[in-house]
Chain A
Amino acid sequence: MPAYMRTMLKIENLTATVGEEDEAKTIINGLDLEVPAGEVHAIMGPNGAGKSTLSYVLTGRDGYEVTGGSATLNGEDILGMDPEERAAKGLFLSFQYPVEIPGVPVMTFVRAAMNSQRKARGEDEISAPDFIKKSRELGQKLKLDADMLKRPLNVGFSGGEKKRLEIYQMMMLEPKFLILDETDSGLDIDALKTVSDGVNAMRSPDRGMLVITHYQRLLDHIQPDKVHVLAKGRIIATGGPELAHRLEKEGYDGVLGEVA
C-alpha cells in the first residue's frame, strides 16, 4: 500500500476528562477522526469546544485523562506513552500558547530535543556543525535572526515571534505528524505567509497534519484536504475546503443548526 493511503492518526470514540479527580469534566466526548499520511486536515470549532484539549490528550499532558476509546499513530497506541515517547515517535504540537523557558537558549533547547528524540530512536546525535548549518538555513527562511536563536526560548518574544519559533522547532525536528493549534493567531500578514510557507514545505506523502484554526484565512495558505468541525467534544461535521468557507459566511450556528 502506498504511504499516502495509510492512516496515520486514527482516533476512535475517544473520551477524556480534564481537571482534578473529584471535579473532572468530560471535554472530549466520543470523538472519531482519521488522518491519512500525506493529508492536511483542519479542525474548526467554537471557543471552548475542546480543540486544545484534544491536542493535549494526544500529546499526553498531565491532568488530561483518557476515559475511553483509542488513538493510534501508524498503528501504535500512543495513549499509554509518555509525552517524550510520543515526541520520539514523531508527534509534534505547535502550542496555542508557547511556553517561556528561562535560561535555556533556543538552539540549546532544540539541540537537546533533537538528540533526545534521536537517542530514543536509537539514532546517532546530530553533529554540532550539521546542527548549526540546518538552524541557520531555517532561521533565514523563517526570518529569525541569529541573535534571536541565542536568546532563552520564548522569553520576552512577541506573540508572533513565538509562533514562528514553534515552526522553526517543527522544521528542525522534522516530525511525522503535526498538530498546529492556532498557529495563525497573533501573526501579521507577512508572518502568516512565512509560517504557511514553512508548513507547506513540510507537506509530504509520509507526513500528516492537523491544523486547528478559527480562520479561513490560514486555510487559503495551507490548503486542507478535509475540514472537520469540533463541537461539544466530538467531530460533528466533515467536509472539503468549502466547509470552511461556509463556516466563515454562516457562522457555527448556521452550519451546526443544520447538521444538529
Chain B
Amino acid sequence: MTTALRDLISNPNTAELELIARYGMQPEDPRRERLFEAFAQTGLPTRRMEAWKWTDFKAALSALDRPASQSASDPLASDDALCFRFSPDGFEYPKDLPEGIHLFVKPEPQALGSAEDVPLGALAAALAGSKTRPGTLMIEVTAADLPRLHFAFGGEGEASFARVTIVVRPGAELSVSESYLGGAGFLSSVFEYSLQGDAKLNRTVYQRGADQETMAATALVQLEGASEYTQTSLAFGAKLARLETRLVHKEAGAKAIMNAAYLVGKGLHADITTHVRHGAPSCITRQMTKGAVLDGGTGVFQGKFHVPRTAGQYTDADMQHKALLLEEGAVVFAKPELEIYADDVECAHGNTCGALDANQLFYMRQRGIPERAARALLTEAFIAEAVETAGDLKDILRDEASNWLAES
C-alpha cells in the first residue's frame, strides 16, 4: 500500500486502514480511484458531519471484525422471486432471467453520480467486487408483469460491499426487495434506481442486525417522466444501521412515496435518512416514517425536501415522522427539514414523539387485554400505516413487526 493512499484519510482508525488495504487489493481503475477518493474525503462519517451527527460510523466501527452473531432468516425470500444473494464472499445471481430483464455483470466499477454526498455509497462502489469477481450488477428492465427481484444480504464475515444499478425503461414495471440480514461486521451497499417515462417501481427494504454489526444501505433514485416510485422500509437496527435514500425528481409529473418503519430494541440503532430534490415542476412526494423504540434503543429520522426556485414550482410534498417511545430510556432523534425556494408549492411536514396513550392502555386492559398485549396491539396498529405500501409484502412486514412486538 502506498503512503499516498494512507494519507487519503486523516487520522485513520484501524477500520479505515483496513478499508484502505482492501482498496489497495482492487484492480487499478481511474473510476474506482475517484470513488474511493470520494469516500476518503471524509473517511468513515463522524458526528462532526451534520448529516451523520446521530450516526457516527467512525466511533462504532473501530476495526473490521467478524461478529459473533449470524445472519437472520429472510422473510422476503420466496420461490416466486428472482433471488440475488450477497455475502462477504461475493454474490450469486439467477442464470435464467425472463424476457424483459437484462443483466450485465461488470468487473470494472462505473462512475457514481453525487458520490461525494454518500461517502459510504462511494465506498461500496469502490470495494464491490475484486480481481477475481465482478463488482457491479446492472439490470435493465423493459417489461411489466415480471417476477420480483430480491436481493438478500447475509452470510458471516468481516465486511460486505455491493453495488447494483437498475434502470426501468418507459412503460416497464418492477417490484424489488432488499433484505439486510446481518452477519457481517460491516456492510455497505449502494443501489441506483433510474425510472424513465411512465415506469413504476415498488421497492421494499427489510433490515435486521445485531449489536456487533454496522451497516449502511444507500439508494440513489432518479425519476424521469411521469414515473412512479414507491419505497417501504422496515428496520430493526444494528449496532448502527442506516437506510439512506437520495431521490431526485428530474422531470415534471413524477411521483414518489417513501415510507419507513423502525422498531428498535436495546443496544441497537436504526437511522432512516432521506433527501428528496424536486428538480422539476409538479412532482409529488409523500413520506411517512413511524418508529417505536425500547429502553436502550436509538431511532434516527432525518428527512429533507429541497425545492429549488424555478425547477421546483408546483411541488406537492408531505413529510411525516411519528415516533413512540415505548419505554423510559428509549431515544429518538428527528430532523425533518423543508428547504423551499419556489413560491407556488404545497409542502407540509409533521413530527411527533411520545409515549403510548395511558387512556388507551387502560381502556384495553379494562376489557381484559393484558398490558403487554395492549402495548403490542397499539404499537402494531401505529406502525401498520407505514408498511401499507409494500404491495404483496405488506402482510409479511406487518407480521415481522408483530412478532418483534410479541417477543420484546
Contacts and interface: CB of A to CB of B under 8 A. Distances in A.
A114 B366 CA distance: 12
Nearest to A172: B367
B362 A109 contact: no
Q: Which of B366, B373, B384 has the most CB of A within 10 A?
A: B366
B358 interface: yes
Given A103-B382, A104-B378, A84 B369 contact: yes
Given A82-B371, A116-B373, A103 B366 contact: no
Contact of B364 (A93, A101, A103): A101
B360 A84 contact: no
Contact of A116 (B362, B368, B381, B384): B368
B366 A112 contact: no
B370 interface: yes
B363 interface: yes
B388 to A, nearest CB: 11
B377 interface: yes
A102 interface: yes
Contact of A83 (B357, B365, B377): B365
B211 interface: no
Contact of B371 (A84, A99, A120): A84
A101 B378 contact: yes
B358 A88 contact: no
A62 B363 CA distance: 11
B385 interface: yes
A173 interface: yes
A110 B377 CA distance: 12
A62 B364 contact: no
Given A62-B358, A99-B359, A83 B373 contact: no
Contact of A102 (B362, B371, B381): B381
A121 B370 CA distance: 13
B378 A82 contact: no
A99 B361 CA distance: 10
Contact of B368 (A98, A100, A101, A117): A117
Contacts of B363: 95, 98-99, 101
Given A87-B366, A93-B366, A116-B368, A99 B360 contact: yes
Given A101-B378, A104-B378, A104-B381, A109 B368 contact: no
Given A84-B371, A112-B377, A101 B366 contact: no
A86 B370 CA distance: 11
Interface in B339-376: 357-360, 362-371, 373
Contacts of A199: none
A60 B367 CA distance: 12
Contacts of A92: 366-367
A114 B384 CA distance: 23
B320 to A, nearest CB: 14
Contact of B362 (A62, A103, A117, A169): A62
Contacts of B368: 84, 87-88, 113-114, 116-117, 120, 173
Contacts of B373: 112, 116
A116 B369 contact: yes
B373 to A, nearest CB: 6
A83 B381 contact: no
Contacts of B362: 61-62, 83, 99
Nearest to B364: A101
A183 interface: no
Contacts of A104: 377-378, 381
Contacts of A103: 378, 380-382, 384-385
A57 to B, nearest CB: 12
Nearest to A56: B362
Interface residues of A, number: 31
A101 B365 CA distance: 12
Contacts of B370: 82, 84, 116, 120
A69 B385 CA distance: 46
Contacts of B382: 102-103
A157 to B, nearest CB: 14
Given A62-B358, A99-B360, A84 B381 contact: no
A59 interface: yes
Contacts of A116: 368-370, 373
Contacts of B367: 87, 92, 109-110, 113, 169, 173
B166 to A, nearest CB: 33
B377 A84 contact: no
Contacts of B385: 103
B304 to A, nearest CB: 28
B366 A59 contact: yes
Contacts of A84: 365-366, 368-371
Contacts of B380: 103
A23 to B, nearest CB: 18
Contacts of B357: 99
A174 to B, nearest CB: 12
Contact of A112 (B359, B360, B369): B369
A117 B368 CA distance: 5
Nearest to A97: B359
Nearest to B361: A62
Contacts of A88: 368
A169 B380 CA distance: 22
A103 B371 CA distance: 17
A79 B358 CA distance: 19
Interface in B375-408: 377-378, 380-382, 384-385
A47 to B, nearest CB: 20
A92 to B, nearest CB: 8
19 contacts: A59-B366, A60-B366, A82-B365, A82-B371, A84-B365, A84-B368, A84-B370, A87-B366, A95-B363, A98-B363, A99-B362, A100-B360, A101-B381, A104-B377, A109-B367, A116-B368, A116-B369, A116-B370, A173-B367
Interface of A: 59-62, 82-84, 86-88, 92-93, 95, 98-104, 109-110, 112-114, 116-117, 120, 152, 169, 173
Given A82-B371, A102-B381, 7 more contacts: A62-B358, A101-B360, A102-B382, A103-B378, A109-B364, A110-B367, A113-B367
